[in-house]
Structure 1
Amino acid sequence: MKKTILIFSAMLITAFSFAQKKELRAVEKALKKGNTTEAKATLSSISSTIESADAKYKAQYYFLKGRTYQELAEKGMDTDASLKIAGDAYNKLFAFEKEQKDFEYTKEAKPMLQTMISKIVEKAIASQKEENYKKASELLYLSYTLQPENKNFLYFAASNSISEKDYDTALKYYVELKETGYTGEETQYYAINVADGKKESFAEKTLRDVSVRVKSHSNPTEEKTKSRLPEIVKNISWIYTNHIGDNEKALAAVEDAIAMNPNDASLLLTKGNIYYKMGDTAKFKEIMQEIIAKNPNDVDSYYNIGVISAENGDVEEARAAYKKVLELDPGYVNAAINLSKTYLDESSDVVDKMNELGNSSADNRKYDEYKAQQTALYRKSLAVLEGISESVPNDVSILKQLKGLYSFLGESEKVKKVKAKLAELGEQ
């Protein structure tokens, strides 16, 4: 009895295999005739038995399914769903043949999948140019599902979701990127073209090296692109803080990224900005000082310390910070304007005291003292603005402040020059 059952089972498997072989051949014939609908129906009829099929038929089934649905998509028949099914079929084929160590169909299917993805990406780029960011994001995410190892697709899908203001979708994609350790860093290959002396980039190291060997190029170099992780974390924290209202999750995302990249000052800055939004200016200032400890020439952190110190009423520390910024970067306009403003603000306090005085001899003497203080502060403000105007001679806001100060100080010739410059720039 046992033997009979075994023979019956063997006959059953043979019958299945024969049926699958016959149906798969029918799919191939239908595809040759361009009858993709018939090919789809035939594939559907054997889908429930394919898991028990022989390895060679299983691989062929995945390949033909990929082809069929790719052609359906090209004919505009339920395009997005067809593309997804085609991609899933190709990826199952790749995984199966890799397991079998037999790549008969993979060799043909890989370029077909790549062609399909390229067309999807072209549509995504066109949608982005038309400012249809939702469609661009959907297409890029589809590309990612078809080629999961290429997380650049997911990154650009997230970027388009941000442009669409679809923050929930963007957050989902960004969190996945962060959790998988994506940085987007790539190595770019360069060499100097001997003919014209210009630096050229190469898509691959091999191509660059061949060009150097044949002596058409020289001086090969390599450069790593900037990590996208800080931008990703910054966007995650912004969405948590501004869209969801969860500063704790925003901070947690940044802390995770800092743990992976402890020397990345931009991540520390993002962390500091969260504390600033939370109203914790002391913590913000502490983080700016931490950044400076890692990079003593970080002008933005000195500037931020200046702003916070001024807000907290610590004028001398603010001035010291702004002066340090200008020492490191003489063209840092905002630092110069803010430093100049500290003297003007102080002079306003002096003017208030002047206005409180009476008409006695003592008050008149005090008035003269205050007047001298006001003039001295104006001169300090003027010196800062004159210094920065050399770096940005066409900055209208600075020119207008210079005009006001020169007028107050009675420097009429300089007033004329500034007015002429403003007129030249179409301003008054």
Structure 2
Amino acid sequence: MKKTISIFSALLITAFSFGQKKELKTAEKALKKGNTVEAKAALSSIESIIDGADAKYKAQYYFLKGQTYQDLAEKGMDTEASLKIAGDAYNKLFEYEKEQKNLKYTKQAKPKLQTLISKTVDKAISAQKVKDFTKASELLHLTYTLQPENKDFLYFAASNSISAKDYDTALKYYEELKEANYTGVRTNYYATNVADGKKESFPDKTIRDLSIKAKTHSNPTMEKTKSRLPEIVKNISWIYTNHIGDNEKALKAVEDAIAINPDDPGLLLTKGNIYYKMGDTAKFKEIMKEIIAKNPNDVDSYYNIGVISAENGDVEEARAAYAKVLELDPGYINAGVNLSKTYLDEASDVVDEMNKLGNSSADNKKFEVLQGQQTTLYRKALKVLEGISVNVPDDAKILKQLKGLYSFLGEDEKFKKVKAKLAELGQ
């Protein structure tokens, strides 16, 4: 009895394998003739039993399925679904043949998958050009599912979701990127062309080094691109703060990223901005100082300290911060304008005091003292404005302030030059 069962089982296995082989051949022939629908039908008939197939049939099945659905997509038949099925089939093939240590079909399928990805990206770019950001995001996310190891596609899908104002989808994608600690950092390779002395970029280190060995290029260098993680976390926190209204989750997202990248000033700035939106200016200033401790030349953090200090009425600290900004970057216009404003505002307060005085001898003496203070403050403001006007000689707002100060201080020649300059600008 046992022998009978064994023979019967063997017959079943033979018939099973024969059926698979027949349908795979049918699909292969149909594809060669361009009859994709027939190929799809043949493959569908064995889909439910393919898991138990012999290794050689299983690999061939995934390869043919990838080809079939790629062809369906190219013919516009349920394009996006077909693209996804094709990509899934190819990726299953790669995984399966890697386990089997036999890359027969993988070698043929890899360039096909790359073609599929390129066409999908082209569709996404076309959607972007007509501002269909939702479609672009869908296509880029689809591309990511086709090549999940390349998270650049997920990053661009999230960016398009932001443009489409689909913040829920953007948040989902950004959260996935943050969890993966995606930075998008790339190393770019350069060398100087010996013939013309110009710096050229290379697709990779190997090609660059070959050019150096060939002596067509010299001075090899490399540069890393800026991390995208601060932008990702900034957008996550923005969505939580402005779209969802959850500052705690916004802070947690930033804290998680800082734990992994403690020296990234962009993440600290995002954290500071959240506290600023929450009205905690003291914490905001504290974080700006933390950034400066890590990077003493961070002019933006000094500027932010100046703004917060001015808002809180700490004029001297504001002036010190703005002055430091101008020391590090004389062309930082806003810092110069704000610094001059602190002197002009103080002068305005002095003028208010002068206007309250009477005509007594004591009041007249006090008036002279206050007028001296006013003049001193105007000269301090003037010095700052003259310094920044060098970098923006045609800024009408600054020129008008200079004109008023020159007039008050009796500097006639400078007054005439500024007046003429404003006339040239139509002011």
TM-score normalised per structure 2: 0.98
Match for 1:161: what amino acid? Answer: S
Q: Could you tell me which residue of structure 2 aligns to residue 95 of structure 1?
A: 95
Matched, 1:151 2:151: yes
Distance in 1, Cα, partners of 2:286 & 2:184: 30
Q: Could you say what secondary structure the match of 2:222 adopts?
A: strand
Between stretches 200-209 and 75-84, larger displacement belongs to 200-209
User: For 1:364-383, what aligned pairs fall within 5 Å after superposition?
Assistant: 364-383=364-383
Structure 2 partner of 1:315: 315
State the distance in 2 between where 1:408 and 1:267 align: 47
- Distance in 2 between residues matched to 1:404 and 1:168, nearest whole Å: 52
What amino acid maps onto 1:388 in structure 2?
A: I
Matched, 1:226 2:248: no
Secondary structure of 1:223 counterpart: strand
Query: For residues 383 and 195 of structure 1, what CA distance do their matches in structure 2 show?
Result: 50
How does 1:320-331 map onto structure 2 within 5 Å?
320-331=320-331
The equivalent residue for 2:11 is 11
Give the secondary structure class of the aligned counterpart of 1:330: coil
- Specify the alignment match of 1:134 in structure 2: 134
The alpha-carbon deviation at position 3 of structure 1 amounts to 2.9
1:376-398 residue CA offsets vs partner (Å, 9 max, x unmatched): 11111111101111222222221
State the shift of 1:187 in Å.
1.2
1:171 Cα deviation after fit? 0.9
Q: Distance in 1 between matches of 2:29 and 2:112?
A: 19
Cα distance, 1:96 vs structure 2: 0.6
Alignment match, 1:72: 72
Quick one: distance in 2 between partners of 1:75 and 1:188? Answer: 38
The aligned residue for residue 415 of structure 1 is 415
Equivalent position amino acid for 2:410 in 1: G
> Counterpart of 1:196 in 2: which secondary structure?
coil
| 1:393 counterpart letter in structure 2 | P
Cross-structure match for 1:214: 214
Partner of 2:263: 263
Residues of 2 paired with 1:408 and 1:243: CA distance? 50
- Distance change in 2, residues 1:322/1:141 (3 Å): same
- Give the partner amino acid of 1:294: K
1:34 is matched with which residue?
Answer: 34
CA distance in 1, matches of 2:122, 2:11: 50
Q: How does 1:221-300 map onto structure 2 within 5 Å? A: 221-300=221-300
Structure 2 CA distance, aligned partners of 1:316 and 1:344? 14
Q: Deviations over 1:1-27 (max 9, x none)?
A: 233223222221211110000010000
Which runs of 5 or more structure 2 residues have no equivalent in the other structure? Answer: none
* Match of residue 109 from structure 2: 109
Counterparts of 1:166 and 1:407 in 2: how far apart (Å)?
55
Once the two structures are superposed, what CA deviation does each residue of 1:319-366 show, in whole Å capped at 9, x if it has no partner?
A: 111111111111111111111000111111112112222232322222
Q: Distance in 2 between matches of 1:204 and 1:288?
A: 38
Match of 1:200, SS state, is strand
Distance 2:257 2:397 in 1: 39
Q: Specify the alignment match of 2:121 in structure 1.
A: 121
Partner of 1:48, secondary structure, is helix
The aligned residue for residue 341 of structure 1 is: 341
Q: 1:170 maps to what in 2?
A: 170
Q: Distance in 1 between matches of 2:101 and 2:3?
A: 34
Distance of 1:224 and 1:7 partners within structure 2 = 66
**Structure-1 separation of matches of 2:80 and 2:411:** 72
Letter in 2 for 1:53: A
Structure 1 window deviating more from structure 2 (66-75 vs 164-173): it is 164-173
Q: Give the counterpart letter for 2:236 in structure 1.
A: I
Q: What one-letter code is carried by the residue in structure 2 that aligns with 1:167?
A: Y
Q: Which runs of 5+ in 1 are unaligned?
A: none
Amino acid at match of 2:162: I
**Which whole-Å CA distance do the structure 2 matches of 1:5 and 1:272 have between them?**
75
2:78 maps to 1:81? no
User: What residue in structure 2 maps to residue 53 of structure 1?
Assistant: 53
Matched letter for residue 251 of structure 2: L
SS at match of 2:48: coil
What is the distance in 2 between the residues matched to 1:77 and 1:423? Answer: 66
Q: 1:226-278 deviations in whole A, cap 9, x for unaligned?
A: 11111111111111111111111111111111111111111111111111111
Q: Which residue of 1 aligns with 2:359?
A: 359
Deviation at 1:130, TM superposition (A): 1.9
Q: Please list the CA deviations of residues 256-308 of structure 1 after superposition, one character each: whole Å capped at 9, or x if unmatched.
A: 11111111111111111111111000001111111111111111111111111
Alpha-carbon distance in 1 for matches of 2:328, 2:336 = 12
Aligned equivalents of 1:170, 1:415: Cα separation in 2 = 55
Q: Secondary structure at the match of 2:220?
A: strand
**Which residue is 2:306 aligned to?**
306
| Alignment partner, residue 388 of structure 2 | 388
Sequence identity percentage: 80
Letter in 1 for 2:307: V
Compute the TM-score of the two structures, normalised by the length of structure 1. 0.97
- 2:98 maps to amino acid: K
Q: What is the alpha-carbon distance in structure 2 between the residues aligned to residue 24 and residue 124 of structure 1?
A: 33
Whole-angstrom distance in 2 between the partners of 1:380 and 1:101: 78
State whether structure 2 residue 20 is matched by structure 1 residue 20: yes
How far has the Cα of 1:408 moved from its partner?
Answer: 2.4
Amino acid at match of 2:403: K
Aligned-residue offset at 1:205: 1.5
Counterpart Cα distance in 1 of 2:415 and 2:235:
47
CA shift, 1:427, in A, is: 3.5
Shift of 1:411: 2.5
CA distance in 1, matches of 2:311, 2:404: 25
> 1: distance between equivalents of 2:312 and 2:283?
13
